[in-house]
Structure 1
Amino acid sequence: MKKQMGITTITEDPTIDLALDTLRINKQALVFVNSKRSAEKTAEDISKKIKLEGQQKVELEQLGEQALHALAKPTKQCERLASCIKKGIAFHNAGLVQEQKELIEDSFRAGKIKIICCTPTLAAGVDLPSFRTILKDLKRFSSPQGMVWISVLEYEQMAGRSGRPRYDTYGEAIAIASSEKEKENIFEKYVCGTPEEIYSKLAVEPVLRTYILSLIAAEFVTNKQE
């Protein structure tokens, strides 16, 4: 696949090579992984391969400092995020505070941050100018089964983040396979597969109860009529 697309092999990691190729063609990409830690490590691995200079370096240094000091007392995670952002790379997961998430999303829209390594939570409800979606992990840990394939619906949700009409005329969604056999499985399951039916979890009473209590606690509703 890499040869057909003309992707230059620079490292032993196809995800990093695809990210670097995205930068080479002056585009942006989302890299989807299956855990918060993987999002951070992948962003760090990509950022280590990048060297910047000039005005771009100055602007990203400033963005990195903003991310670092989003908390009164920066954490190790803040330091890792700032280091990545200073190279135009970021990770995005549930461990970040809202200010950091908004900084990353706004900077990506502005074309300053080029690559975001993220968990699937970013696939829903966020419109970003991503030309390329790189699907590093299509399996996720689920107790008690262990590592299981994600749903077709979730795959399409992530793949659909690329080539948004407002930003590009087309986009690329690239899944990483570890073998020829896995490539065939991915093609059959996701490219040729049919999305699962959608059903509301609110039909389950305990879930509905929790949702209503959350709305009350967040003060989105204040009376029975609402």
Structure 2
Amino acid sequence: MRSRHHDIADDLRHQITTGRIKPGERLLSEAALADRYKVSTVTLRSALAVLQGEGIVEKIHGKGNFVRRRPRKTVYIGGWGMLDPWTAGEAALRLTVRTTTVQAHRHLATLLKVPLDSPLAEIFCVSHEGASPHGLARIYIPPDLAPAAVQDGDSPWRETATRFAVLSTARATVRETACARPPTPEEASALRLRSSAPVLAITRVATDTSGRVIEAALLAFPGDHVDAVFTTHPPTDERQTHE
């Protein structure tokens, strides 16, 4: 026999998809909805949990349940790692940047090939459209390579950082690893995600011509907010190059 909470979820979903309840609109309180459907609040919350799991409804602590706005997607361009200005520019992005010095824990020490607990310049960036987070970046640079402007948080470098681009001006080889995974607690908090919602995680490492790692970045985007584009080129035949 079909559960009552599924019937309630179906009715609310129909109201949302037909536009009777608009994107961004707050639903009635759980008590009011339970009274309307003549069920307990436990059953009502089970119905809302179905819609929350589908990404249709978002529960904001202390405010209530809201119909989620359709996410505006941006495009992450691999290689030099930046947000595509055409898609990112469509949104009125609010950018938050924090710079500090941290000690390299084991993962960072491995990425940057530096001793454990070595000092690193960290640039932490979060981009928002209104109240909706679009992505976050944690960029790490050895202090002797980080321009003073990065360490001081001056605006030109802040703007570059918020595009999530490789900060170094030196020629570099960039290696990126992308995967889908559950968010960490820090990512879930910063991006306002459910712990079960996937993120697109990109680990980017840039090395100079001598092989030294000059920058490492840990990027995370809500899985339904971004497309990643990577362009590859066929290897050049050195024999042809010298002919």
TM-score by length of 2: 0.22
Greater Cα radius of gyration, structure 1 or 2: 2
Which is richer in helix? 1
